[in-house]
Amino acid sequence: MAEDLSQLKNWQKKIHEIIFGYETTGGKLFDVALLLVILASVLTVMLESVQEVNRSYRVQLKIIEWIFTFLFSVEYIARIACSPKPLRYVLSFMGIIDLLSLIPTYLGIFIDGTHALSVIRAIRLIRVFRILKLTHFMGGAEQLGNALWYSRHKIIVFLGSVLCIVVIIGTLMYIIEGGKNGFTSIPKSIYWSIVTITTVGYGDIAPQTLLGQSLASALMIIGYAILAVPTGIVTSEIMQSERRLNSVTCSNCGSNDLPKRSNYCLNCGENLLRNNSQN
Amino acid sequence: MAEDLSQLKNWQKKIHEIIFGYETTGGKLFDVALLLVILASVLTVMLESVQEVNRSYRVQLKIIEWIFTFLFSVEYIARIACSPKPLRYVLSFMGIIDLLSLIPTYLGIFIDGTHALSVIRAIRLIRVFRILKLTHFMGGAEQLGNALWYSRHKIIVFLGSVLCIVVIIGTLMYIIEGGKNGFTSIPKSIYWSIVTITTVGYGDIAPQTLLGQSLASALMIIGYAILAVPTGIVTSEIMQSERRLNSVTCSNCGSNDLPKRSNYCLNCGENLLRNNSQN
Amino acid sequence: MAEDLSQLKNWQKKIHEIIFGYETTGGKLFDVALLLVILASVLTVMLESVQEVNRSYRVQLKIIEWIFTFLFSVEYIARIACSPKPLRYVLSFMGIIDLLSLIPTYLGIFIDGTHALSVIRAIRLIRVFRILKLTHFMGGAEQLGNALWYSRHKIIVFLGSVLCIVVIIGTLMYIIEGGKNGFTSIPKSIYWSIVTITTVGYGDIAPQTLLGQSLASALMIIGYAILAVPTGIVTSEIMQSERRLNSVTCSNCGSNDLPKRSNYCLNCGENLLRNNSQN
Amino acid sequence: MAEDLSQLKNWQKKIHEIIFGYETTGGKLFDVALLLVILASVLTVMLESVQEVNRSYRVQLKIIEWIFTFLFSVEYIARIACSPKPLRYVLSFMGIIDLLSLIPTYLGIFIDGTHALSVIRAIRLIRVFRILKLTHFMGGAEQLGNALWYSRHKIIVFLGSVLCIVVIIGTLMYIIEGGKNGFTSIPKSIYWSIVTITTVGYGDIAPQTLLGQSLASALMIIGYAILAVPTGIVTSEIMQSERRLNSVTCSNCGSNDLPKRSNYCLNCGENLLRNNSQN
């Protein structure tokens, strides 16, 4: 939070400290309260969708939802008001989520049923990591994100292959089962292929002919073997990122993978302690 | 078992040796007998729940169950009586399990049906590791536990993301399928999301609309890719704990990951043999 | 693309540049256009199989499909015409796919229903990697391919074991369930075994007897443990290929696994920089 | 095959060479013929179980099965007759499988339906590895076997934990769902737990109450996380066995994990080349 707050007025600074900060008592209390309110509001929307509850407490739930939305709206305006660069907050990931979690309730006035979309405010719960000892979780999240990012090329190649397989096998099944037993169209057969290759297996569509069951068996064994590929990719990346965290790179010759506490570079003899202390 | 038994009376020492110990013949026999009784009592509770069996042998099963519960009660009192620090045993993990496996039968007198909970005594079977060559299994268990413990931050981040995904996609499906085809409420739709993303796929709830099936396909492919993440995390941790077991740390400069049989620290030249022999 | 184009006429060179090349603007535009046409033609075949759509737009879809097939035929002839070695293109992987994606439509005149097979042209979409930054994806694909290729012996051993298990357990289930509850023949019971061991679990066939459910439970736990094996194999290979990419081999003594930026071989002292610069 | 054949008569040696050997042309032809006969006989038993086939070709299939069984019986006797140590063959893994694949057909005369068990002869197909380039596959099989063997303690701890979880959650579900919705007894509820935690998910038994679905969701997420554990264990072991294969151990100081082509031990300076050439 290395933002320049000097251009803010005093009341803005105070609100900023409470809403955005999490070091002061006020900031911590605000965060805990916010989390409870978010949880309660998500639960309200969920309960509203349960018919038995909705029939008895329709009006009460509606009122509670509007109170929550009003609170979030005030919070959103306050966040804009006390930001040194309001636009930067509005366009940030959390800013967009904050806005998106407000819209559905207002939209619900005009279009029926859409207010349920306000469960998107569940994403706001990731603020919880600020209350918990932040850095550990951020480190974990960053490492996972990096592992997925570094392996993106392999994941795209993998997903492309899977898509080709499901399209072709889905079509074959459509021809083999002859449009019966649930395989009524190619898109539906492809849906069945995805359900099968991911080993979900609902069973609402299932081959009945001998040839269809043989092809399905082949697809399952392929899916079985293929399931190993993304796991291998991600595991490999996680372990490399782990190694990267536990090693240093020589600033002189560029050798990486040196043990973290090395005094001298194994390759060129550069004094690493001196360099590291400068960082 | 480095407990101080000197303050115990002679009869307490003898019972302690049999009940808690597993080096003497008496202790071993007691452990084997206990395991058989636990297995038999768990089987009794299971059989009681099978209607055909219960109709014919209701009274016999009830009597057998009460005999087992009486034996376990005696054992529990004996464990307390011969412990040098009774409270420490009562509050230990095994002590709590021992108590919890007694309560349901007694509770069954007052509240119907709860006595089935006494299958919790199955957990007592982990004493089996004491009879088998203990240390190997404890080492295995400890290593698995450590791997899960060290990766707790990443696992929490991962579970948090999964929860957000299932809440949002569950709500979307509720709106898309319009409360039909089993998606009768948001909680039920979230239940379906979890069933799908974990690739369980019961099929009691399954999307029927084209849009619903497309979203479900996306969720499955996400689940597929996401399944790789916890595997990667745990694999990485298991391999690191393996490495930690097979390496030594220099007591002088703190370099870790040194080969187990190193004579000198690769980094600072410290004589490791001398230090290790001191440990 | 180090092909010798000198023996081609000028018009052939020009077409070759557009159809096979992807460096010039014309070549790029052609590739993008081709991808869109392929996608559109696959979608057409899919839509044709949806009964509601087919009833209303049967003639239009047929016409569109024939236009696409005509375009692909022209493209196929053009590719042959402007290749320096036409036979090499025809027998290459992409050449065979290009031909296979044409045949089903023509075959559909004589044999009803087979034209749906033309979705095989979805495989042609892998040309998309040429438009995206090629080398990264090719590297990813090659690495995945290598990982699977190097572990082929282990994968065959693994699949052989799985096949033996499903054949034997399938037969046992056929005997246990006595030809009822869907286990009407051994092939069908084997199909159920595969559905179960791969954790797909449709539920269209499910054991009802106590013995059958016990055996099924055993099969599931086996499948659970066995699922770990291919993952382990592939992960291990991916990590080794990763290591191979990040290490150099000494040309003097054959030591491999040397850090990529090593100046001298750790084993024989060979100057690696000199050798690497010669490569 | 370092057996001492000197005590065999000439005709025994000749038969031994053909039946057990796979270096001579006769031995190879015998192996290929045997594999085809095994495959054919397994297929016969399968076909016999398909009602439509059995109705039309009952007698023919029975005759074919008896011919195959006669051939296998002759082969089994021949194997005993030409072994230098017949008892060792009879008690070896392959010897027991050879016998077990004969018994069911003979047993089928007395007990109806058991002859289907003769599909156990499918295991005999592992002789196929002798025809293919043997050593690679044996290496692969051995490595997989070792990986599973070395991690047995961890796998037992893991399976023990899973069993405790399914017993307890199965019982809880029996109480929660109140013996309805398929949860008619504790054993059946435990069966459901196993179906769920292994992500098979047939859907023949599925919770209907809100509390039951919540507990099921928890079980699925646990199963999801737990699935990572065996994968991690096996992957870790496969990678270690890979490393063991690619490293040498110093015969002087016992340092292992030395690069395969090392000339000198990194730790004690022992000349490894001299030692390795002696091995």
How does strand D258-259 pair with strand D247-248? antiparallel
CA dist., res. B144 & res. B21, Å (int): 26
The reply to whether residue D234 touches residue C229, judged by beta carbons under 8 angstroms, is yes
Chains that touch D (3 or more CB pairs under 8 A): A, B, C
Q: Are B118 and B105 in contact (CB under 8 A)?
A: yes
Who has greater pLDDT, A185 or C249? A185
D88-D93-D98 Cα angle (round to 5) = 90
Tens of each residue's pLDDT in chain B, 279 residues: 446 677 777 888 888 888 887 778 888 888 888 888 888 988 888 888 888 888 888 888 889 988 998 999 999 999 898 888 888 888 988 888 888 888 888 888 887 767 777 777 777 777 766 666 556 666 667 777 777 787 777 777 788 888 888 988 998 898 888 777 788 888 999 999 999 998 888 888 889 888 999 999 989 987 777 777 888 888 888 887 777 766 666 666 666 555 555 666 655 666 666 544 443
Q: Are A31 and A19 in contact (CB under 8 A)?
A: no
Chains that touch B (3 or more CB pairs under 8 A): A, C, D
The average pLDDT across D38-58 equals: 87
Q: Which two tokens stand for residue C250?
A: 């000494």
CA dist., res. C183 & res. C202, Å (int): 14
For residue D216, pLDDT beyond 90: yes
The reply to whether residue D231 touches residue C236, judged by beta carbons under 8 angstroms, is no
- Cβ neighbours of A227 in B, within 8 Å: 224, 227
What is the DSSP secondary-structure string of D117-136? GGGGGGGGGGGHHHHS-HHH
Q: Are D151 and D236 in contact (CB under 8 A)?
A: yes
Q: Nearest-CA neighbor of A170 among A205, A210, A204?
A: A205
The reply to whether residue A116 touches residue B156, judged by beta carbons under 8 angstroms, is no
CA dist., res. B93 & res. B124, Å (int): 10
Query: What does chain B come to in residues?
Result: 279
Upper half-sphere CA count for residue D255 (Cβ side, 13 Å): 22
- Cβ neighbours of C266 in D, within 8 Å: 259
Q: Are D197 and D223 in contact (CB under 8 A)?
A: yes
Q: Are D188 and B163 in contact (CB under 8 A)?
A: no
Name the 3-class secondary structure at B254: coil
- Cβ neighbours of C231 in B, within 8 Å: 231
Amino acid at the residue D128: V
Count of CB atoms within 10 A of residue C40's CB?
A: 11
Q: What is the DSSP letter of A203?
A: -
B137-B143-B144 Cα angle (round to 5) = 90
- Cβ neighbours of B175 in A, within 8 Å: 113-114, 116-117
Closest-CA distance, B46 to chain C, in angstroms, reads: 13
Tell me the per-residue pLDDT of B57-69, one tens digit each, with 9 for 90 and over: 888 888 998 899 8
What residue spans in chain B does CATH classification 1.10.287.70 cover?
136-245
DSSP collapsed to 3 states, chain C: CCCCCCCCCHHHHHHHHHHCCCCCHHHHHHHHHHHHHHHHHHHHHHHHHCHHHHHHHHHHHHHHHHHHHHHHHHHHHHHHHCCCCHHHHHHCHHHHHHHHCCHHHHHHHHCCCHHHHHHHHHHHHHHHHHHCCHHHHHHHHHHHHHHHHHCHHHHHHHHHHHHHHHHHHHHHHHHHCCCCCCCCCHHHHHHHHHHHHCCCCCCCCCCCCHHHHHHHHHHHHHHHHHHHHHHHHHHHHHHHHHHHHCEECCCCCCCCCEECCCCECCCCCCEHHHHHHHC
Q: Nearest-CA neighbor of A140 among B155, B229, B231?
A: B155
User: In which band, very low, low, confident or very high, does the pLDDT at C148 lie, cut at 50, 70 and 90?
Assistant: confident
Count of CB atoms within 10 A of residue A93's CB?
A: 9
Tell me the per-residue pLDDT of A71-117, one tens digit each, with 9 for 90 and over: 999 999 998 988 888 888 889 888 888 888 888 888 888 877 677 77
CA dist., res. C67 & res. C58, Å (int): 15
For residue C31, pLDDT beyond 70: yes
The reply to whether residue B199 touches residue C199, judged by beta carbons under 8 angstroms, is yes
Q: Which of D94-98, D120-124, D185-189 has the lowest mean pLDDT?
A: D120-124
The reply to whether residue B203 touches residue C199, judged by beta carbons under 8 angstroms, is no
Find tokens 């084209």 and name the residue.
B210
* Long-range contacts, A85-92 (Cβ 8 Å, 24+): A85/A3
CATH placement of domain C136-245: 1.10.287.70
B240: phi then psi, degrees, rounded to nearest 5: -70, -40
Contact partners, residue A152, CB within 8 Å, separation at least 6: none
> D122-153: buried (b, 16+ CB within 10 Å) or exposed (e) per residue?
bbbbbebbbeeeeeebeebbebbebbbebbeb
Q: Are D29 and D35 in contact (CB under 8 A)?
A: no
CA dist., res. D87 & res. D90, Å (int): 5
Cβ pairs bridging A and C (under 8 Å): 152
- Cβ neighbours of C233 in A, within 8 Å: 228
CATH placement of domain D10-133: 1.20.120
Closest-CA distance, A26 to chain D, in angstroms, reads: 35
Cβ pairs bridging A and B (under 8 Å): 150
Out of D203, D231, D235, whose CB is closest to A203?
Answer: D203
Q: Are C124 and C102 in contact (CB under 8 A)?
A: no
User: What is the maximal distance between C-alpha atoms in chain D?
Assistant: 77
CA dist D236 to A247, B147, C50, D142, Å? 21, 12, 48, 16
Q: What percent of chain B has pLDDT above 70? A: 79
Residue ranges of E strands in B10-70: none
What residue spans in chain B does CATH classification 1.20.120 cover?
10-133
What is the DSSP secondary-structure string of A109-161? HHSTTGGGGGGGGGGGGGGHHHHS-HHHHHHHHHHHHHHHHHTHHHHHHHHHH
What is the predicted ipTM? 0.80
Residue ranges of E strands in chain D: 247-248, 258-259
Out of D51, D137, D147, whose CB is closest to C153?
Answer: D137
CA dist., res. C32 & res. C125, Å (int): 10
Find tokens 């699977």 and name the residue.
C148
Give me the residues paired with residue A258 across strands: A248
B179, exposed or middle or buried, with CB in 10 Å at 0-12, 13-18, 19+?
middle
Who has greater pLDDT, D64 or C148? D64
Residues of A with CB under 8 A from a CB of D: 199-203, 231, 235
